Amino acid sequence: MEQNFLEQLETADNEAEVRERLAAGLYNARHAGIAKEFLRRREEKREAEARTRAEAREEENLKIARESVAISRTALQNSRFATRIAVIAVVLSVVLAVQKLVEWYAK
């Protein structure tokens, strides 16, 4: 009988109605306990689903953060490489300028 009532609640799938009937005292003591258990299970299920969604979001955030770190490292390497090239270009420009000055004074 108790299992039957729980199955009826599950089949009806109407928490609002169960809450209203429970609040109005329309269930006998046994059915009231079953109704409370039904509502508790539903709440537990919602909380578990919320935790699962939160964990999935957290995992996605960690994945994005890891990708961001990898991109940042690549950008830093590229930046260092570009800086080295710029320094070499400046040094070569100075060397060529000095060479031109030496040639000009040698005339």
Residue 102 domain-assigned (yes or no): no
Alpha helical stretches, state H, 1-107: 2-12, 15-24, 29-106
Residue 92 domain-assigned (yes or no): no
Q: How many domains does the chain have?
A: 1
Q: Which domain holds residue 33?
A: 2-78
- Amino acid 95: pLDDT: 96
Amino acid of residue 27: Y
> pTM for the full model?
0.60
- Amino acid 5: pLDDT: 86
Return per-residue pLDDT of the chain as tens, 107 residues. Answer: 567 888 888 888 888 998 999 999 999 999 999 999 999 999 999 999 999 999 999 999 999 999 999 999 999 999 999 999 999 999 999 999 999 999 898 87
Distance separating alpha carbons of residues 46 and 84, to the nearest angstrom: 57
Residue 7 domain-assigned (yes or no): yes
